[in-house]
Amino acid sequence: DTAVSQTPKYLVTQMGNDKSIKCEQNLGHDTMYWYKQDSKKFLKIMFSYNNKELIINETVPNRFSPKSPDKAHLNLHINSLELGDSAVYFCASSQTKGAGGYTFGSGTRLTVV
Amino acid sequence: DAKTTQPPSMDCAEGRAANLPCNHSTISGNEYVYWYRQIHSQGPQYIIHGLKNNETNEMASLIITEDRKSSTLILPHATLRDTAVYYCIVSMNYGGSQGNLIFGKGTKLSVKP
Q: Please report the DSSP string for A11-45 in residue order.
A: EEE-TT--EEEEEEE-S--SEEEEEEE-TT--EEE
Report how far residue B87's alpha carbon sits from residue A97's, in angstroms, rounded to the nearest whole number.
22
Read off the DSSP letter of residue A73. Answer: B
Write the residue in A42, A101, A106 that is nearest to B43 by C-beta: A106
Q: How many helices (H) and strands (E) does chain A have?
A: 0, 11
Q: What does the pLDDT read at residue A100?
A: 64
Which residues in chain B are contacts of A30 at CB distance < 8 A?
Answer: 95
Establish if B39 touches chain A: CB-CB under 8 angstroms: no
Residue B96 has pLDDT above 70, yes or no: no
Establish if A103 touches chain B: CB-CB under 8 angstroms: yes
Report how far residue A41's alpha carbon sits from residue A47's, in angstroms, rounded to the nearest whole number.
18
Would you call A42 and B93 a contact, using CB atoms and an 8 Å cutoff?
Answer: no
Diameter of chain A measured on Cα atoms:
42
Task: Please give the average per-residue pLDDT across A43-52, as a whole number.
Answer: 85
pLDDT 10s digits, B14-49: 999 999 999 999 998 888 899 999 999 899 999 999
Q: What is the mean pLDDT of chain B?
A: 91
Which residues in chain A are contacts of B102 at CB distance < 8 A?
Answer: 45
Q: How confident is the model at residue A49 (pLDDT cuts 50, 70, 90)?
A: confident
Q: Would you say B69 and B28 are in contact if contact means Cβ atoms under 8 Å apart?
A: no
Strand, coil or helix: B58: coil
Would you call B43 and A99 a contact, using CB atoms and an 8 Å cutoff?
Answer: no
Residue B1 or residue B8, greater confidence: B8
CB atoms < 10 A from the CB of B106, how many?
Answer: 28
Q: How many helices (H) and strands (E) does chain B have?
A: 0, 9
Which residues in chain A are contacts of B47 at CB distance < 8 A?
Answer: 101
